Amino acid sequence: MKRSTKIIFSSITSLLVLVVMSGIAFAQGEAEAVKTQGLAQNYGLIALAAGLGIGIAALGGGIGQGRAAAAALDGIARNPGAAGQIRGPMILGLALIESLVIYALIISLLLVLKVGA
């Protein structure tokens, strides 16, 4: 099976699971829906957005770190003498990628805690 076909099938499966599970998780009776007002009414959607945001950030950060490490190791394998010159910028790049994921986590927590208060 081609790689693109696998990616398409896994994306469709993930989307279906997300849609079905979010419908079940955020289902509520009509009486409860009338009681909630204002920002609390959208709590489920904000929590879902925060979860998706941190999930996408973690996925992107993981892919970015993997590609950065692979490129650095390729460079070191081709020219072992340049290992010292490659290692420092690679570690700096990995730290910056990780900081973006941490920022996404902080923003998601702020969203969830602001709505929950």
Q: Over the chain (117 residues), what is each successive 10-residue block's mean pLDDT?
A: 77 72 60 54 75 85 91 93 92 91 86 70
Q: Which has the closest alpha carbon to 68: 44, 100, 39, 40?
A: 100
Write down the residue that tokens 């923003």 correspond to. 107
Q: Tell me the whole-structure pTM to 2 decimals.
A: 0.58
Q: Report the pLDDT value the prediction gives residue 65, as an integer from 0 to 100.
A: 92
Q: Report the pLDDT value the prediction gives residue 36, as an integer from 0 to 100.
A: 52
Q: Report the pLDDT value the prediction gives residue 73, as an integer from 0 to 100.
A: 92
Which amino acid makes up residue 10?
S
